[in-house]
Amino acid sequence: MTVRLPSFTSLPQTENQNPAVTKAPVVTPKRATGGFALLDSLLRHEVEYIFGYPGGAILPIYDDLYKVEATGAIKHILVRHEQGAAHAADGYARATGKVGVCFGTSGPGATNLVTGIATAYMDSIPMIVVTGQVPRASIGTDAFQETDIYGITLPIVKHSYVVRDPKDMARIVAEAFHIASTGRPGPVLIDVPKDVALEECDYVPVEPGTVKLRGYRPTVKGNPRQINAAIQLIRHSRRPLLYVGGGAIAAGAHAEIQELAELFNIPVTTTLMGIGAFDEHHPLALGMLGMHGTAYANFAVTDCDLLICVGARFDDRVTGKLDEFASHAKVIHIDIDPAEVGKNRVPEVPIVGDVRHVLIDLLRRCRETGVKSIPNQNQEWLNLINRWRQDYPLEVPQHPDSISPQEVIVEIASQAPHAFYTTDVGQHQMWAAQFLKNGPRRWISSAGLGTMGFGVPAAMGAKVAFPDEEVICISGDASFQMCLQELGTLAQYGINVKTLIMNNGWQGMVRQWQQAFYGERYSCSNMEVGMPDIELLAKAYGIKGMVIDSRDQLKDAIAEMLAHNGPVVVDVRVTRDENCYPMVAPGKSNAQMIGLPKQPPKAAVEPVACSHCGATNPPTHNFCSECGTKL
C-alpha cells in the first residue's frame, strides 16, 4: 500500500509555482516559526486532540503547543509511552473516521511509535505522525537521539516527509492529511528537525482541500462495464455470499451493503476488520469467517458459487488454505486499492473504486433496469445455511467451578449492547468477535498486525472522541501488561474507560497452539509468576479496581463497573484452559474446523409454522423459508 509521491521540497515555492497546491486567493505572509506553522495547519484541518510525549528535539513544537492549548483550540493528551500515543490516535481515527494525530520526539521517542504506525498501516487507518528530529546540520552525524525515522518507517507508512524548510510546513501538512484520508487510508509521517521548528519564515497557510498532487489520483468510480458484469453474475447465482472487510467501514458503505444483501437475499460474512459493516442481528448475517469464524460462515464460503468481496484482501487468517477458499465460486472483488485486486485470488470481475460509490452505482443500475432477486432463487441455499446454524452454533460453556470467558462476553454485551469496544489480541479478541454484536465503527481491534497492548490506549482515543458514549476495552492478562502504564493517562485526564481483563494466567492463544500443535510443551507462555495484583495496581493509579472470581458475582459486578463514574479495571478470573473454537488449523481449508460441537441424534420433531405467514418449516430452520421471519 506504500505510496511514494513526487517530492516537491526541492522546487521553488513562490506563489503559483508550487505544483502541489491549486490556485487560491493571495494571502499576505506573516512571520512565524515552523512550529507555529505546524500547529496552525493542524487547527485548519480541524484537529481537536493530539496524543503525544515531549522530548528534546520536539520541544520547540511543544512550546508553541503550550500557547495554542491555552486558547482551548487543541487538547493534548500526555501518554505514558509513545506506543500508547500511536494506538490512541489510531483508536480515535477508527471511532470517528477522522485523521488521528500523535507526536513523539527523536530517537527512542520516534522508534517507540513504530509498532503503532505499523498497526495503523496494516489496518489502513488514517493517521498523522509528527516526530521531532535533530537539527538539519546534525542529521547523519550520529547525534544524540538521532535515528533515521524516515528510513525506518518507509515500509509501514503510506507516505513520509522530512521538513527541510519551515515555509514548506503548511503545504506538507495539507498534503499529509489529503494522502492519509483519501484512497486507501493510512499513516503519514512528518519528521521535523528542531531548528526547522524554531526558524521563522513568511508563513502562508494552505487550506484543507486545496492540494492537488501529481501522480496521486485514487480511483473512486467503478468501471461501468465491470459493474454490469457483476450484476449479471449476481442475477444468475444460486449460492451467493457477501464477504465484507474493513474497506466497507472506511468507506461508510453500511447502508449500501444491507440494501444489496436484501435486494438479492445474499447472506453476509465479515472479516475481523469488517465487523459492524452489516447488522449482526439481521437474518442474513453469518458473523465472522476465517480461523475462528463461525462454522456456518466457513461452510458457506466453502460451498458458495459466487463470492462478492467488498473491501477485503483475502488475508491468510480468513482464507485458510488459499487454493481451497471458495474454490467452487466465481469472484467479484471491489476495492479502492488496485494492488489488492488479484493479489491473492484472481477475480472474474475486478472493480477498482471506492466501495460505497461502486455499490451506489451498482444498486442504481439495478433499479433502473428492474433487476432484483427472483422469488426463492436462493432459498435452498438459505435453508442449508440455516441448518448449519442449527447444527453448529457458537457455544457458551458453563463450568461448575469457574467462569468461562464466553459467559463474560455475553454478559457485557447484554448490559452494554451499544458501546464502543476495543480489544487487545488473543483468545479474548476472538471470543469478543464471535459474541459481540457491534454497530459501525464500534468495533476497534488490531487485525493485520495483531498488536498486544493495543486495547487500552485505543479505548482512550475512542473515549476522548466520544466522551458521552460507553467505551469498553476487553483485554487479556498478558496483553494488558504490554501497555498498562496508560492507566496513568486514564487517571490524569479522568478518561472513563472500562477495562475488562480475561485473566487465565496464560498467554492464552499461545497456550492453545502449544497444546494443539506442539505436543503440550508450554514454553514461556505461563504468566502466573510475576502477575501483578490487578485490583491493587489500578488503585495505585487512583483508579477503581475490581475482581470477579465466581459466576454469581458476574452480573452485579459488571453493572457496578458500568455505573461507576470514572475508569475501572476489572480482573475476571476465568477458566484457565478454555480454548477458542471453532478453529481452522494451519494449512487446512475453512471447512476443516476443529472444536465443532458434537451433534446428538435428532429425535423426530414436528414441523414449525411461521407466526407471520403461516408457512410450514422444517424443525432445523431458524428463519421462515417464505418470509424470513425468525421462528
Q: Would you name the residues annotated as active-site residues?
A: 82, 144-145, 194, 509
The angle, 0 to 180 degrees and rounded to 10, between the axes of the packed helices 551-563 and 405-415 is 40
Length of the chain: 631
Residues 6+ apart with CB under 8 A from 467: 496
**β strands within 252-352, DSSP E:** 268-270, 285-288, 306-310, 330-335, 349-352
Rounded CA separation 456/116 (Å): 13
Q: Which three cell numbers stand for residue 600?
A: 446428538
Contact 314, 344 (CB under 8 A): yes
Give the largest Cα separation in the chain, rounded. 85
How far is the CA of 107 from the CAs of 54, 113, 450, in angstroms? 12, 10, 25
Contact 265, 377 (CB under 8 A): yes
Number of H helices, E strands in the chain: 23, 24
Taking the alpha carbons at both ends of the chain, their separation in whole angstroms is 46
Q: Which three cell numbers stand for residue 15?
A: 506563489
Contact 306, 233 (CB under 8 A): yes
Rounded CA separation 416/588 (Å): 36
Rounded CA separation 404/615 (Å): 39
Contact 460, 77 (CB under 8 A): yes
DSSP string, 359-374: HHHHHHHHHHHT--PP
Contact 159, 3 (CB under 8 A): yes
